[in-house]
Amino acid sequence: MSNATKVIGTGPGAWFGHIGDSLVAMQHGYGKALRRSRGRTIVLSLIILLGLVYPLLHQYVLAEFSRNVFALPLPDDTVMTFMMIFAIMAVGLNIVVGFAGLLDLGYVAFYAIGAYVAAFLASPHWAAIGINLTFLGNVGPEAQGVHLPFWLILVIAVVVVATFGALLGAPTLRLRGDYLAIVTLGFGEIVPLVFKNLSSLTLSFTLGPIVIAVDNVNLTGGVQGINPIDPPFLPFLNILFDSRSGPLAVYLGVFLLAITVVVARNLQYSRIGRAWMAIREDETAAAMMGVNTVRSKLLAFALGASFAGIAGAFQASYLGATTSDFFEFSTSILVLIMIILGGIGNIWGVIAGAITLTYIDKTFLPYLGQRAQDSPIPLPNPAEYNFLLYGIILLVMMRFRPQGFFPDRQREAELSVGGLAEAETAMGVELDLDNVSVAPRGQEETGPEARKAETIDEARDL
């Protein structure tokens, strides 16, 4: 993967050329996978193909069947679009938590910033203070407020959110794992509060000859949020991808997800990706080997965050509205559960986790809730207790399968061959790595290590 190292530090032209290279490489990779394990590759391909056809199948066949013949818990196109949005976020959070081993509990902040970037740049919001700017949008030139095209907004959202990611990361990366988790959590709480509260801003200050005076300006729309936001729009073909566009929006989501997957995969196998994994395993050792840990961790934060920016901008444009209520701590945790379920570090695993959990959250539990309501005996509504289920999932996964259902194969191998567990068994002691390592280690290491330690504990109790 020598071409992957070109990612960092080359211009946008090289980027596109590089993505082309990647597509070719993927083709080669597919052939290789087909030769290596034929059955598995074919089954996976069929699942992906079916997934790609499903939105159409649902629109024209299954929805009718479910409506008229027998109610099935089928995800509709809104749910499918959200599957893609959450999958994009899961891939992004996986860069921070999975690759670099930094626990980010405030990921929702970047999602919120992405959504508000879209809201600020494609809505009539600023007309209230007389700012009107329409540029290549899908609205007429007489439209009030700021209207930029969706594709430009995506790029701006990525840049803005990555900047915020770096801003948050810069002062906090000295912190140890659990402190970092709390700082990011605090950031994740502050950002939606700021969006909620900046609804009547009054300030005035003098900067040399410039006097800035703002009187009661509604900056963020407050509790009501901002709407309407222009939907994603494909020029020339005149296609709108709004919440009424059915499968079209799902396919836009698939397209965006595909881009993020290509970027994430290239990052994973590039120089920076290997630096992240070195830091995750042992920050001190990585630094000794010449890895610039601060720069690498900052990049992890900024790049991981930018994915949430894409997801946020897409979500706001798709729904046509955004409010601060959308971005709660529970959303950060939901994405975290997705990647823990799927297998931290494995891109395909976390996508599977995101799709599964979004399905459970938005289709399956409400479906059960509907059944419970229809039943003659009073039953609790499972949709109201979704976070009870997620809490239990977290507890059970941490206890019994911390590596997730589709663990990253490379990491599993790293951990089992000549790993810590082996050394411990050979020496008959428990190695205390806490004094050696300052890096928060990934979750995959839990299994063998924990079991070994328990028996030692038991031995000590006797």
Partner 1 sequence: MDQIIQTLIIGLANGLLFALVALGYTLVYGIIELINFAHGDVFMIGSLIAFALIAPVSDGGYAIFPVTAGTAVPLMVLGIVLTLAVTMGLTAGLNAGIERVAYRPLRHAPKLAPLIAAIGMSFVLQNVGVVLAGANQRTIENVFPTTNLLSYIGIDGITLTVSQVLVGVVTIPLLFALSWFVAKTRQGKAMRATAQDPDTAGLMGVDVNRTIAITFLIAGALAGAAGVIQILYNNVTVWNLGFRFGLIAFTAAVLGGIGNMKGAVLGALILGIVSSVSDRYVSANWTQAIVFGVLIAILVFKPSGLLGQQLADRA
| Residue ranges that bind partner 1, judged by CB under 8 A | 103, 105, 171-172, 174-179, 181-183, 185-187, 189-190, 193-194, 196-197, 329-330, 333, 336, 340, 384-385, 387-388, 390-395, 398-399, 402, 430, 432, 434-435, 438, 440-443, 445-446, 449-450, 452-454, 457, 460-461
Q: How far is CA 322 from CA 118, 192, 205, 244, 319, in A?
A: 9, 11, 30, 17, 8
Closer CB to partner 1, residue 75 or residue 169? Answer: 169
> Among residues 181 and 360, whose Cβ is nearest to partner 1?
181
What is the closest distance, in whole angstroms, from the C-beta atom of residue 310 to partner 1 in the complex?
25
Q: Distance between CA atoms of 197 and 203, rounded to whole angstroms?
A: 15
Give least dist CB 394 to partner 1, A: 3
Please report, for residues 24, 74, 345, 380, the alpha-carbon distance to residue 92 in angstroms, rounded to integers and kept in the order given: 24, 27, 11, 35
Q: What is the smallest separation between the CB atom of 419 and partner 1, expressed in angstroms? A: 13
Instruction: Pick between residue 224 and residue 330 the one whose CB is nearest to partner 1.
Output: 330
In the complex, least distance from residue 27 CB atom to partner 1, rounded to whole angstroms: 38
Please identify, using beta-carbon distances, which residue of 172 and 266 lies nearer to partner 1: 172
Structure tokens at 83: 């599957």
In the complex, minimum distance from the CB of residue 135 to partner 1, in angstroms, rounded to a whole number = 34
Distance CA 114, CA 22 (A): 27
CB of 193 to partner 1, least distance (A): 5
Provide, rounded to whole angstroms, the least separation between the CB of residue 197 and partner 1.
5
- Smallest gap from residue 113 Cβ to partner 1 (A): 15
Q: Residues 403, 444: contact at Cβ < 8 Å?
A: yes
Nearer to partner 1 (CB atom), residue 97 or residue 313: 97
Considering the complex, state which of residue 58 and residue 280 has its C-beta at the smaller distance from partner 1: 280
Unique residue bearing structure tokens 């529970």: 330
Least Å distance between CB 313 and partner 1? 24
From CA 152, how far away is CA 135, in angstroms rounded?
Answer: 10
* Tokens 């290789």, residue located: 32
Looking at the Cβ atoms of 371 and 452, the one nearer to partner 1 is 452
Where does 282-419 have alpha helices with state H? 283-288, 293-319, 329-342, 347-359, 365-374, 386-400, 409-416
DSSP 237-282: TTEE-STTSTHHHHHHHHHHHHHHHHHHHHHHHSHHHHHHHHHHH-
Calculate the dihedral angle through the C-alpha atoms of 365, 366, 367, 371, rounding to the nearest 10 degrees.
Answer: 100
Cβ nearer to partner 1, comparing 53 with 398? 398
For partner 1, give the closer residue by CB, 10 or 200: 200
Token pair 């005149």 is at which residue? 238
Measured from the CB atom, the residue of 73 and 186 that comes closer to partner 1 is 186
Q: Which helix (H) or strand (E) holds 214?
A: strand 210-217
Among 81, 115, 323, residue whose Cα is nearest residue 222:
323
| Contact of 162 with 248, CB cutoff 8 Å | no
In this structure, are residues 216 and 201 in contact, taking their beta carbons and an 8 Å threshold?
A: yes
Give me the least distance between CB of 391 and partner 1, in Å please: 3
